[in-house]
Chain A
């Protein structure tokens, strides 16, 4: 479960990027976070992923107050949340499967168990047979799916993605969204930030609209 209570976020003494955000997301929900560019969608996802702390307010992730977590404990929260950022953050000095193996190495998985899991994750996102390719040899859609494989390889209970279909053609975007839908069907809470209204309409789910750092409405149902 994800719960925000009166959460504010600002950088330094600047204006609030997010102001008084309150919501609750039940386990297994599929949520779109919509809104124009600069509305605060990415910041919201970073707060959920524990990548940044809030300036004020309480954030509960899977029953733990993430805003009160020590720097030592925060990495363990990140392992429970699969994060796909807009610029993917793939490592280009290694091949595709080594990128997917990284979260398992971080968790101390033995290579004998980690490699089959990484292969399985790549298979789930439709990248079988591309294990030895360097990410630069892959198309934009394939790189996005590789980033998803890396995010899900640790079997997170929450999956968040920031504009995962931006800059992709319609066909690639649909394949990416199908991947998210499949994970959600097996119980993974999924949050996707997007400003693509057509895409959201095609995958009708609960949508949280954010504008100028505030929720303007919540539509749809879990």
Chain B
């Protein structure tokens, strides 16, 4: 067991020495891999931040009918009852929000309170908020109904409120699949770069390999430093990729925070959690070692 540990210690030291002996070449390889790795980390950061925000937004389609200023609360109730009867299959629920309720709700928000205080009269209209039943064609249904409802007397404007959320959700789902494809592409970049690095190293170390075999080295002993070289390259690249991704998120966050604060909320892009990052590092190190093994097996048959 001790001998085995010493052999691994030796292989690790040899791998570090080989990295150090060719600093420019090693750095270039690590940079190529880390830049490739940084892209999915940033995309994962965006997805990780956007998903919880979306979860808080109601995803059912809502259509709001804003009535004109001449309509009364009774008109609003009447329109709500008519809609309930005529479109019972399409409607999940209806709520009437009177202009007084809307004003009271706005006054509770500090950003609006001062602006509303200077107004002499309530400028807000009565509104009928219709929540539609979920169905696969919700976007088409809500568009068709809103066109019909635009023609109802006293209705000033019709707004489809939550279709954008569903579209955004679809975009995020698409991005999620894209992230996996991106990760696959990055895996190929890691495999190819480490393969080539180890191939060149094996050619450079030809004499050392021959001497090691001469004095009784097993093929495992010959291969081991290259496996460590691949794993170390992967690990260092992953560490640098996290640093690059973190640096890239800083200017993005400055902009996003300003945008979010104008909506009275807080939002910041964060790196994926530490467990995911450590797992990513381990996976990249394993990929590096596997690629190195493949390369060294092919390139040391002399």
Which residues of A are in contact with B by a Cβ distance under 8 Å? Answer: 51, 71-72, 75-79, 83, 85, 89-91, 93, 102-103, 105-111, 150-151, 154
Contacts of B4 in A (CB 8 A): 108
Docked-complex contact A102 and B6, CB < 8 angstroms: no
* Given known contacts A105-B10, A109-B6, A79 and B216 CB-to-CB distance under 8 angstroms: yes
Contacts of B218 in A (CB 8 A): 72, 75
Among the listed stretches B141-149, B153-161, B203-211, which one makes contact with chain A, having 4 or more residues with CB under 8 Å of it? Answer: B203-211
Docked-complex contact B3 and A78, CB < 8 angstroms: no
5 contacts between A and B (CB under 8 A): A75-B218, A102-B215, A105-B7, A150-B215, A151-B215
Docked-complex contact B212 and A102, CB < 8 angstroms: yes
Contacts of B216 in A (CB 8 A): 75-79, 103, 106-107, 154
Contacts of A78 in B (CB 8 A): 213-216
* Given known contacts A78-B214, A154-B215, A110 and B2 CB-to-CB distance under 8 angstroms: yes
What's the A-B contact tally at a CB cutoff of 8 Å?
A: 60
Instruction: Return the contact of A106 from the options B2, B21, B207, B215 (Cβ within 8 A).
Output: B215
Docked-complex contact B214 and A51, CB < 8 angstroms: yes
Instruction: Return the contact of A89 from the options B6, B214, B219, B221 (Cβ within 8 A).
Output: B214
* Given known contacts A89-B210, A108-B4, A71 and B219 CB-to-CB distance under 8 angstroms: yes
Instruction: Return the contact of B6 from the options A91, A93, A110 (Cβ within 8 A).
Output: A110
Closest CB-CB distance, B55 to chain A, in whole Å? Answer: 55
Closest CB-CB distance, B163 to chain A, in whole Å? Answer: 66
Docked-complex contact B207 and A75, CB < 8 angstroms: no
Contacts of A154 in B (CB 8 A): 215-216
Docked-complex contact A79 and B207, CB < 8 angstroms: no
Give Cα distance in the complex from A78 to B221, angstroms: 14
Which residues of B are in contact with A by a Cβ distance under 8 Å? Answer: 2-4, 6-7, 10, 21, 207-208, 210-219, 221
Closest CB-CB distance, A103 to chain B, in whole Å? Answer: 4
Closest CB-CB distance, B271 to chain A, in whole Å? Answer: 40
Give Cα distance in the complex from A83 to B215, angstroms: 8
7 closest A-B pairs by CB:
A108-B3, A79-B216, A78-B216, A103-B215, A106-B217, A75-B218, A108-B7
Docked-complex contact B219 and A102, CB < 8 angstroms: no
Give Cα distance in the complex from A71 to B213, angstroms: 11
Give Cα distance in the complex from A59 to B243, angstroms: 59
* Given known contacts A71-B219, A91-B207, A108 and B6 CB-to-CB distance under 8 angstroms: yes
Contacts of A51 in B (CB 8 A): 214
Docked-complex contact A75 and B217, CB < 8 angstroms: yes
Give Cα distance in the complex from A150 to B6, angstroms: 19
Docked-complex contact B207 and A89, CB < 8 angstroms: yes
Give Cα distance in the complex from A78 to B3, angstroms: 18
Closest CB-CB distance, B110 to chain A, in whole Å? Answer: 69
Closest CB-CB distance, B115 to chain A, in whole Å? Answer: 76
Give Cα distance in the complex from A76 to B208, angstroms: 18
Give Cα distance in the complex from A111 to B9, angstroms: 10
Docked-complex contact B3 and A89, CB < 8 angstroms: no
Contacts of A109 in B (CB 8 A): 3, 6
Give Cα distance in the complex from A154 to B214, angstroms: 13
Docked-complex contact B6 and A106, CB < 8 angstroms: no
Give Cα distance in the complex from A108 to B220, angstroms: 12
Contacts of A151 in B (CB 8 A): 215
Closest CB-CB distance, B2 to chain A, in whole Å? Answer: 7
| Most chain B beta carbons < 10 A, residue from A72, A105, A111, A154 | A105
What 6 new A-B contacts, CB under 8 Å, besides A105-B7, A108-B2? A72-B218, A72-B219, A75-B213, A75-B218, A78-B213, A151-B215
- CB-based nearest A residue for B10: A105
Give Cα distance in the complex from A138 to B210, angstroms: 22
Give Cα distance in the complex from A43 to B254, angstroms: 73
Give Cα distance in the complex from A75 to B217, angstroms: 6
- CB-based nearest B residue for A84: B214
Docked-complex contact B2 and A102, CB < 8 angstroms: no
Closest CB-CB distance, A99 to chain B, in whole Å? Answer: 8
Instruction: Return the contact of A85 from the options B21, B207, B214, B219 (Cβ within 8 A).
Output: B214
Contacts of A85 in B (CB 8 A): 214
Give Cα distance in the complex from A109 to B2, angstroms: 9
- CB-based nearest B residue for A49: B214
- CB-based nearest B residue for A113: B6
Give Cα distance in the complex from A107 to B224, angstroms: 14
Give Cα distance in the complex from A93 to B201, angstroms: 14
- CB-based nearest A residue for B8: A108
Closest CB-CB distance, B223 to chain A, in whole Å? Answer: 13
Closest CB-CB distance, B298 to chain A, in whole Å? Answer: 16
